[in-house]
């Protein structure tokens, strides 16, 4: 599984970070960092939730 | 449970439908909605769509094409008969159901005396935003925004971005004062003033002046000026009214459901046997706040409550008790290049403590507190802070501890 964020859409509102802080982090520079691009399968439910909740529909999962 | 109907084809309703399918419901699922277009997302309406950088097709909700449902679009529900388990539709048909999700949202409050003007708008639907854009494209130069709530503030910011002159009129002493209190409200006022908006605070609207009066609703008559309570006149080409919304419960009068500023549910989102409600229209005792009855008009809330309500209905079908729905409200608003985020339940007279950044830089985080506890967190351009505090808010944080942690 690969986590892809469309940074042209992302507006750094950190919703994804609230759901899966292991994978998404908005830092003090206001940019979103993907901490693990190929996270463990056990994180899939959380990442799927982040995909569903991202107000900009900026996150997708490949594979 | 074989037939479920979702009333309201928008954020809460679509997430409910998605959760019903995800929860294994394979019976007949119908979504009834009075809007004709494919369900779309509302937050971009006052931002990108009004700005002209996104079109309706780009804000269609993902579920519009992914869930397996029967669509009844462009038709309103007009009545609910709970004893016969029937939903009446505006075209005289009725739909039988075993379970029903009420997710009909809310509609903008209108200012009396403005109904006849073609250039006085509210902003809730794609139709509203198209009308507003048409006025701008037809050469409007000046927009008056009545009401400095979130939608009014966003409309003001977007209209400045379009090069229009903007006046905000707000009877309270600061924008967003009812939600953020006056201290932070003044910072928001400053932001708008910096961007060239004329901000008229502590002043009401007394009347509208127009031309071509006496014609039918919205036909030809134009508002040319807004008379304020101090007697002054704001000459204008367009008026946008953002003075709050009223839950869409008119069609449920007499149905037997408890209606009181929304459809009143129990703490599990159940309004009656087989009936759940979610989103802007639903009022429920929120366990996070000691069971205080609340109605939350926020985007993420509609998703969470819609999803929860669907699970509640499925639990009932299995004869299981439902789980309570506990929520810490969370909201964002984009104005100019600033992003505001608020988590929690803030009252205007809560204590306020600046814990990071500064008002002057327009980049800061404040905590709100009452009776020794933190009630909310608000940030301007510091989104991660809100996320961190939000988790703590659900558990309850002592005011003194939070301030000590923040070093404030
Ligand atoms: C311009 C704008 C900007 C916003 N920006 C933000 C933001 O930045 N951040 C944020 O958190 N929130 C924002 N919101 C709020 C958020 O969009 C709402 O909380 C959310 O849309 C609520 O979803 P809902 O499904 O409960 O209700 P709604 O979206 O109101 O949907 C209800 C649907 O039911 C339909 N309906 C009503 N009556 C009937 C009937 N009798 N029969 C059939 N259908 C019916 C309505 O037409 C509508 O389609 C914004 C809202 C607006 C209008
Ligand atoms: S939720 Fe979406 S928009 Fe927000 S920070 Fe994450 S990816 Fe970006």
Q: Of the ligands numbered here, which is closest to the C-alpha atom of B72?
A: 1
Q: In what order do the strands lie in the sheet with B205-211?
A: B205-211, B222-228, B233-235
The per-residue pLDDT for B356 is 94
The per-residue pLDDT for B219 is 59
> What digits encode the pLDDT tens for the residues B351-400?
999 999 999 999 999 999 999 999 999 999 998 889 888 888 888 889 99
Q: Which of B294, B286, B386 is nearest to B332 (CA)?
A: B386
Domain architecture of chain A: domains with CATH: 2-62 (3.30.70.20)
Q: Which residues contact B319 (CB under 8 A, 6 or more apart)?
A: none
pLDDT at B172 over 80: yes
Which of B 278-297 lie inside 8 A of A, CB atoms? none
Atom of ligand 2 nearest to the CA of A12: 5
Which one has a higher pLDDT value, B408 or B221? B221
CA dihedral sign, ordered A27, A32, A37, A43:
positive
What residue in B sits closest to A27 (Cα-Cα)?
Answer: B384
Q: Of the ligands numbered here, which is closest to the C-alpha atom of B33?
A: 1
**Per the CB < 8 Å rule, is A13 touching B299?**
no
Domain ranges of chain B: 3-107+245-317, 110-241, 337-406
The per-residue pLDDT for B211 is 86
What residue in B sits closest to A30 (Cα-Cα)?
Answer: B382
What residue in B sits closest to A16 (Cα-Cα)?
Answer: B387
pLDDT at B220 over 80: no
Can you say how many angstroms the Cα of residue B375 is from the centroid of all Cα atoms in its chain?
A: 21
Between the alpha carbon of residue B13 and those of residues B39, B326, B366, the distances in Å are 10, 19, 34
CATH architecture of B337-406: 2-Layer Sandwich (3.30)
Q: What tokens does B79 get?
A: 């009545």
Tell me the nearest-neighbour CA distance from B223 into chain A, angstroms. 36
CA B216 – CA B28 distance, rounded (Å): 43
Query: Lowest-pLDDT range, A18-22, B69-73, B139-143?
Result: A18-22
Please give the distance, rounded to the nearest whole angstrom, from the Cα atom of residue B106 to the centre of ligand 1.
6
**Confidence check on the interface: ipTM exceeds 0.95, yes or no:** no
How many other CB atoms sit within 10 Å of the CB of residue B84? 8
Indicate whether residue B251 lines ligand 1 (CB < 6 A). yes
pLDDT at B214 over 70: no
Domains B3-107+245-317 and B110-241 share a fold: yes
DSSP designation for B407:
T
- The domain B110-241 is placed in CATH, from the list 3.50.50.60, 3.40.47.10, 1.10.10.10, 3.40.50.1220, at 3.50.50.60
- Ligand 1, atom 5: nearest CA belongs to which residue? B43
- The domain B3-107+245-317 is placed in CATH, from the list 3.50.50.60, 3.90.850.10, 1.10.10.10, 1.10.3720.10, at 3.50.50.60
pLDDT at B406 over 90: no
List residues of chain A with CB under 8 Å from any CB of chain B: 11-15, 17-18, 25-28, 30, 52-53, 55, 57
Choose the closest CB to B383 out of A12, A53, A57. Answer: A12
Q: What is the mean predicted confidence (pLDDT) over B163-183?
A: 95
> What digits encode the pLDDT tens for the residues B42-55?
999 999 999 999 99
**Per the CB < 8 Å rule, is A55 touching B334?**
no
Mean pLDDT value across chain B: 95
Indicate whether residue B12 lines ligand 1 (CB < 6 A). yes
> What digits encode the pLDDT tens for the residues B342-351?
999 999 999 9
Between the alpha carbon of residue A41 and those of residues A1, A17, A45, the distances in Å are 7, 18, 9
Tell me the nearest-neighbour CA distance from A19 into chain B, angstroms. 9
CA B352 – CA B342 distance, rounded (Å): 13
pLDDT band at B256 (very low <50, low <70, confident <90, very high): very high
The per-residue pLDDT for B391 is 81
CA B33 – CA B400 distance, rounded (Å): 48
Return the bridge partners of B356, or none.
B365
Please give the distance, rounded to the nearest whole angstrom, from the Cα atom of residue B127 to the centre of ligand 1.
13
> What digits encode the pLDDT tens for the residues B305-344?
999 999 999 999 999 999 999 999 999 999 999 999 999 9
**B198-201 and B165-170 strand pairing:** parallel
CA B228 – CA B223 distance, rounded (Å): 14
Question: Counting beta carbons within 10 angstroms of the beta carbon of residue B85, is it exposed (0 to 12), middle (13 to 18) or buried (19 or more)?
Answer: middle
CA B379 – CA B344 distance, rounded (Å): 12
């Amino acid at each position: 599984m690969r986590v892809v964020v469309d940074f042209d859409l992302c507006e750094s509102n950190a919703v994804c970070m609230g759901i899966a802080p292991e994978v998404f982090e908005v830092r003090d520079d206001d940019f979103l960092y993907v901490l693990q691009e190929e996270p463990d399968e056990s994180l899939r439910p959380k990442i799927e939730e982040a995909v569903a909740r991202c107000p900009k529909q900026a996150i997708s999962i490949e594979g | 449970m074989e037939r479920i109907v979702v009333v309201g084809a928008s954020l809460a309703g679509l997430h409910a439908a998605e959760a019903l399918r995800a929860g294994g419901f394979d019976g007949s699922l119908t979504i009834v909605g009075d809007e004709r277009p494919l369900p779309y997302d509302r937050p971009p309406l006052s931002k990108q769509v009004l700005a002209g950088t996104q079109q309706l097709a780009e804000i269609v909700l993902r579920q519009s094409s992914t869930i397996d449902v029967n669509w009844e679009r462009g038709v309103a529900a007009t009545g609910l008969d709970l004893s016969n388990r029937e939903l009446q539709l505006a075209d005289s048909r009725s739909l039988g159901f075993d379970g029903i999700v009420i997710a009909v949202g809310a509609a903008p409050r209108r200012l009396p005396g403005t109904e006849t003007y073609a250039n006085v708008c509210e902003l809730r639907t794609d139709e509203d935003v198209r009308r507003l854009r048409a006025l701008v494209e037809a050469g409007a130069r000046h927009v008056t925004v009545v009401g400095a709530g979130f939608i009014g503030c966003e409309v003001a910011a977007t209209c400045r971005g379009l090069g229009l002159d903007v006046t905000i009129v707000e009877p309270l002493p600061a924008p967003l004062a009812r939600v953020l209190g006056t201290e932070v409200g003044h910072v928001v006022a400053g932001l708008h003033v910096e961007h060239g908006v004329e901000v008229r605070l502590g002043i009401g609207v007394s009347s509208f002046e127009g031309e071509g009066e006496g014609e039918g609703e919205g036909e030809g008559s134009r508002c040319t000026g807004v008379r304020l309570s101090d007697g002054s006149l704001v000459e204008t080409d367009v008026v946008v009214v953002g003075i709050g919304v009223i839950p869409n419960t008119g069609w449920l009068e007499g149905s037997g459901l408890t209606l009181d500023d929304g459809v009143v549910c129990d703490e599990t989102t159940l309004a009656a046997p087989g009936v759940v409600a979610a989103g802007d229209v639903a009022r429920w005792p929120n366990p996070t706040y000691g069971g205080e009855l609340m109605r939350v008009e926020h985007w993420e809330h509609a998703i969470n409550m819609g999803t929860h309500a669907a699970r509640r209905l499925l639990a009932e079908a299995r004869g299981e008790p439902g789980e309570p729905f506990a929520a810490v409200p969370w909201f964002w608003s984009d104005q100019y290049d600033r992003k505001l985020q608020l988590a929690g339940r803030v009252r205007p007279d809560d204590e306020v403590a600046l814990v990071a950044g500064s008002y002057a830089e327009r980049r800061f985080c404040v905590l709100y507190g009452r009776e020794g506890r933190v009630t909310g967190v608000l940030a301007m351009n510091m989104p991660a802070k809100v996320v961190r505090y939000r988790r703590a808010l659900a558990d309850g944080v002592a005011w003194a501890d939070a301030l000590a942690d923040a070093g404030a």
